[in-house]
Structure 1
Amino acid sequence: MNPANEAAGAQYKDLENIKRLPILITLVIGAFFSILNETLLNIALVDLTVDLNVPYNTIQWLSTSYLLVVGILIPISALLVQWFTTRQMFIGAMVLFTLGTLVCAIAPNFYVLLIGRIIQALGTGLMLPVMMNTILVLYPPEKRGAAMGSIGLVIMFAPAIGPTLSGLILDSFEWRWLFYFVLPFAVISVIIAAVYLKNVSDVTKPRVDVLSIILSTIGFGGIVYGFSSAGSGSDGWSNPEVYLTLIVGGISLLFFVYRQLNSKEPMLDLRAFLSPMFSLSTVLIIIVMMALFSTLLLLPILLQQGLLMTAFTAGLVLLPGGVLNGFLSPLTGRLFDKFGPRALVIPGSAILVLVMWLFTQIDLDTGKGTIILYHCIMMVAISMIMMPAQTNGLNQLPRRYYPHGTAILNTLTQVAGAIGVAFFISIMSASQKDYLAGSSDPTAPHEMAESLSAGVQSSFSVGMIFAIVAVVLSFFVRRAKAPQE
């Protein structure tokens, strides 16, 4: 063993008597149901507009608010993780999520339901960084791949089965059962955490910088809200609510970055970017997330509006790829531990380019089986890139940067998601308009469907460009060595 690994192993000598597996299982159970809830409600939005008597642009806040709160809270979690123990953070997050789920289940109107979703999001926003930070503290670098792969199973598998599970429940029950179904599992997770979860993090209680919290909230919240509004609103980028929010968010973010770089005790220590593999992994993950969202967003639209599938059928078409990705994540984690990141990230990026090109060829005549196959190939590529790149980048950070590194990655993933939705919807809409402008009968249903197909193809073409950039970056990836401290 080299000196770097010896130093890394010394960090874990005080954790030798802690049973890691029960802690990992506790984290996975809690995270699974909180992340599952992000997509569980999507298919029910149409039913909710009728039952709660609110328009669709209002009901969309049930999804937008969730993304917004998570995007705001994750940066602050880097501070909270250093103020509270692992048990306090995780159990607190799950109690919030459980309370929010109960409020949603019994909500008499839209506004109470929205409050419940916000409380749920508070729990999820605390959950993700705590989960990743605990894995980093608990496992030495040479064993992190498999553990992070288990987390990858949760992060990809839970949202993948959300729409399908939601469709099954809604076939027989009303929308409230979406929350009643989750509630007992959330309670069980709290009980398991109270029994098995141990404190593994360092509580240092750094100075609370109120101004940084305000700048972070306005900055990240403005960016996420602005892009989410652009993606879901009819006016798009021309809406003052969109571009003014983005401007205010961008300016606040610049001041936030300046303050963090000039603070002795930053809330979110951006000096983590001085680690080359962490910086490279962050950029690579953002690019891959942009390409991924082109698929997660565009395929359901094409399946439902172009190929006229029901939401439940569309969810079934996308289910095999999501399940495959979830089960491959632990495997790619173990392969990462054995062979390093390059053996996975380089071929994974190449496969991503190939499948994005295949997606540019789909049209209204493409069969379900072909789409399922392409989506499965896509998810194999994602499983080879995401967790190996993320784990490799975090491995290069000193232990004191773990809360900051996990917060940075989770925050930028949320921001990349919001940007991806808005960006690819804009491309699709522009291509649809161009197609219909040259059509002899733009109002004909067949022409509308063909314009959608053209818009989806254009968006995948841009997604392929992102994938090509990911291939170039993948050749610069090297196995990160644990720093000596």
Structure 2
Amino acid sequence: MSSSTQAGTARSRDYGVLRWMVAAAFVVILNETVMFNALPSLMREFAVDVTTAQWLSTAFMLTMAVVIPITGWFLQRVSTPQAFGLAMTVFCIGTAVAAAAPEFWVLLLGRIIQASGTAVMVPLLMTTLMSVVAPEDRGRVMGNMTLAISAAPALGPTASGLILEFASWRWLFGLILPIAAAVSLAAHRQLRDVGERSPASVHLPSVILSAIGFGSLVYGFSEFGSGADARIEAGAFAVVGLASLAAFVFLQLRLQRTDRPLLDLRPLGRRTYRLALLTMAGAFAGMFGSMLILPVYLQNLRHLTTLETGLLMMPGGLAMGLLGPRVGRWFDKYGSRRLIVPGGIGALVALGVLTQVSLTTPIWLILVAHVLLMLSLALIFTPMFTLGLGDVPPRLYSHGSALFGASQQVAGAIGTAIVATLLSSRTTHLLKEGYEPQAAQVGGMVWGLWFGLAMTVVVLALVLRMPNRSATATHEAAPSERSAAPRPSSSS
């Protein structure tokens, strides 16, 4: 067999195992939003209020934000099969704990364990993809990955709505556990090590600052929407988080001089990567905000059931997932401009329609707007991932992936918090002015949707600055890059 044939066979095998990794990532990421529709059932069973029950989602996001920054260091010190096996084992343990939880705190512990495994999967999947996939195929393969990273959170409420219609909340975990175990075993048998090892020990002060910084920031913003009394405490946590992150960044810049950072920030010195990261953060903030508002609007004001709400939101999530692979092929063929610009405009139109909702808005119009929003985001996500990571040197793939993941968690938390705060404050103001309760709540939701629209304007402005294709990053960072702080480059 010729060397070219062997290379082609190896590449085909690598691409095949990526499908199993995408399937595993889809299963674990789906859990980030699967609890939204289950909160009323859990509140009744465990006799907790909505603020306490919401911790099942907040703690998941909080854990992700704390663990993801460490994965850049972690993935450079263990093999690919070891990282994958550990992530899926931890996730399955957390799922089993949650399914059998006799008390609320045990369920919360299970969610935290789940999130710890999930946090490793996204950076691992991105790093593996960038390491084994040829540059000319990255758009197509990255499109498949979009199914896991973007469509899974969008489909979470739908999946939970369908399950809760016919079974108890425990089946949210009971059905996931055997699927996750089977997929992880199938993928693990085919995995090979594709990363570059770096033997440096973990820098404990960086770990502490990262955990305090990302954890406090996500917690602080997530609590802003809990009411006026909680906002002082939430603001204090946010300030502590920002101060800790500032110290963390300063420390990483110092450690980069000796190639010992916990989270290498040099990808931020690449202009295309930086723009892609900001675009993805803005898009996730807008998407998570709309995911908070639409179920509340449909159930509380339009009196749809949990199942009906899930079914109405399902076409958008499916459309995003099914379009992802096709977008990847289009990107490989045409580049980014023909995708991201229409995507930004489509998202703007969709959220513009949603800002006009009322108590009499036709349900079909909500459905069309939601599908258009999900399709538009699909046109943005795949090119952004591909352009951003394609601009990073291979030795920094794991750190670039970790930065992507951490920024999305923080952006999602911030977007959700701002929308919840706008919804609450505007509703309260309208009630004081004598509006009917339902009309006041619609007014609050409209303000939240206007925030999503504003974020989409920012996203559109950023995508207009993106190159059609990313310049191929060098295989190793230049010596000056290894010893200097991040600085803008002309990679676009």
Q: TM-score, normalised by structure 2?
A: 0.91
Partner in structure 2 of residue 257 of structure 1: 249
Hey, what's the Cα distance between the residues in 2 that align with 1:188 and 1:456? 41
Task: Give the SS at the match of 1:423.
Answer: helix
Asked if structure 2 preserves the Cα contact closer than 8 Å seen for 1:352 and 1:382, the reply is yes
Partner in structure 1 of residue 232 of structure 2: 239
**Residue type of the partner of 1:235?**
A
Q: 1:90-136 deviations in whole A, cap 9, x for unaligned?
A: 11100111111111111111122111111111110111111111111
Partner in structure 2 of residue 469 of structure 1: 458
Q: Per-residue deviation at 1:269?
A: 1.1
Instruction: Report which stretch shifted further, 72-81 or 183-192.
Output: 183-192
Hey, what's the Cα distance between the residues in 2 that align with 1:141 and 1:236? 52
Partner in structure 1 of residue 441 of structure 2: 452
Q: 1:429-480 deviations in whole A, cap 9, x for unaligned?
A: 22223322322xx4xxxx1111111122222223222222222222211111
Partner in structure 2 of residue 394 of structure 1: 389
Instruction: Report which stretch shifted further, 425-434 or 325-334.
Output: 425-434
Partner in structure 2 of residue 4 of structure 1: none
* Structure 1 segments unaligned to the other structure (5+ residues): 1-9
Partner in structure 2 of residue 199 of structure 1: 193
Show the 5 A alignment for 1:418-437.
Answer: 418-437=413-432
Instruction: Report which stretch shifted further, 417-426 or 138-147.
Output: 138-147
**Residue type of the partner of 1:226?**
G
Q: 1:154-185 deviations in whole A, cap 9, x for unaligned?
A: 22332333223222322332221221111111
Asked if structure 1 preserves the Cα contact closer than 8 Å seen for 2:162 and 2:310, the reply is no
Partner in structure 2 of residue 360 of structure 1: 355
Q: Determine whether 1:208 maps to 2:197.
A: no
Asked if structure 2 preserves the Cα contact closer than 8 Å seen for 1:236 and 1:426, the reply is no
Partner in structure 1 of residue 266 of structure 2: 271
Task: Give the SS at the match of 1:82.
Answer: coil
Asked if structure 2 preserves the Cα contact closer than 8 Å seen for 1:15 and 1:200, the reply is no
Asked if structure 1 preserves the Cα contact closer than 8 Å seen for 2:270 and 2:392, the reply is yes
Percent of residue pairs bearing the same amino acid type: 36
Partner in structure 2 of residue 81 of structure 1: 75
Hey, what's the Cα distance between the residues in 2 that align with 1:408 and 1:312? 36
Asked if structure 2 preserves the Cα contact closer than 8 Å seen for 1:145 and 1:388, the reply is yes
Partner in structure 2 of residue 100 of structure 1: 94
**Residue type of the partner of 1:429?**
S
Task: Give the SS at the match of 2:249.
Answer: helix
Partner in structure 2 of residue 403 of structure 1: 398
Partner in structure 1 of residue 478 of structure 2: none
Partner in structure 1 of residue 324 of structure 2: 329
Cα 1:281–1:15 shift into 2, 3 Å: farther
Hey, what's the Cα distance between the residues in 2 that align with 1:186 and 1:356? 35
Hey, what's the Cα distance between the residues in 2 that align with 1:37 and 1:153? 14
Instruction: Report which stretch shifted further, 254-263 or 26-35.
Output: 26-35
Aligned with 2:346 (options 321, 326, 351): 351
Task: Give the SS at the match of 1:19.
Answer: helix
Cα 1:448–1:24 shift into 2, 3 Å: same
Asked if structure 2 preserves the Cα contact closer than 8 Å seen for 1:22 and 1:197, the reply is no
Task: Give the SS at the match of 1:40.
Answer: coil
Q: Determine whether 1:222 maps to 2:212.
A: no
Q: Determine whether 1:56 maps to 2:50.
A: yes
Aligned with 1:169 (options 163, 172, 175): 163
Hey, what's the Cα distance between the residues in 2 that align with 1:378 and 1:139? 29
Partner in structure 1 of residue 490 of structure 2: none
Q: Per-residue deviation at 1:365?
A: 0.6
* Structure 2 segments unaligned to the other structure (5+ residues): 476-492
Q: Per-residue deviation at 1:14?
A: 11
**Residue type of the partner of 2:207?**
I
Asked if structure 2 preserves the Cα contact closer than 8 Å seen for 1:105 and 1:180, the reply is yes
Cα 1:13–1:395 shift into 2, 3 Å: farther
Q: Per-residue deviation at 1:16?
A: 4.3
Q: TM-score, normalised by structure 1?
A: 0.92
Matched residue pairs, number?
467
Task: Give the SS at the match of 1:125.
Answer: helix
Hey, what's the Cα distance between the residues in 2 that align with 1:299 and 1:33? 23
**Residue type of the partner of 2:409?**
Q
Asked if structure 1 preserves the Cα contact closer than 8 Å seen for 2:282 and 2:455, the reply is yes
Task: Give the SS at the match of 1:26.
Answer: helix
**Residue type of the partner of 1:484?**
T
Task: Give the SS at the match of 1:262.
Answer: helix
Hey, what's the Cα distance between the residues in 2 that align with 1:314 and 1:199? 43
Hey, what's the Cα distance between the residues in 2 that align with 1:55 and 1:352? 35
Q: Per-residue deviation at 1:296?
A: 1.3
Q: Per-residue deviation at 1:17?
A: 5.9
Asked if structure 2 preserves the Cα contact closer than 8 Å seen for 1:26 and 1:197, the reply is no
Cα 1:237–1:112 shift into 2, 3 Å: closer
Q: Per-residue deviation at 1:358?
A: 1.2
Q: Per-residue deviation at 1:312?
A: 2.0
Partner in structure 2 of residue 72 of structure 1: 66
Hey, what's the Cα distance between the residues in 2 that align with 1:107 and 1:458? 38
Partner in structure 1 of residue 128 of structure 2: 134
**Residue type of the partner of 1:112?**
V
**Residue type of the partner of 2:178?**
P
What RMSD, in angstroms, separates the aligned Cα atoms of the two structures?
1.9
Q: Determine whether 1:296 maps to 2:291.
A: yes
Cα 1:14–1:323 shift into 2, 3 Å: closer
Asked if structure 1 preserves the Cα contact closer than 8 Å seen for 2:122 and 2:149, the reply is no
Cα 1:355–1:18 shift into 2, 3 Å: closer
Q: Determine whether 1:372 maps to 2:362.
A: no
Q: Determine whether 1:125 maps to 2:137.
A: no
Asked if structure 2 preserves the Cα contact closer than 8 Å seen for 1:306 and 1:450, the reply is no
Partner in structure 2 of residue 6 of structure 1: none
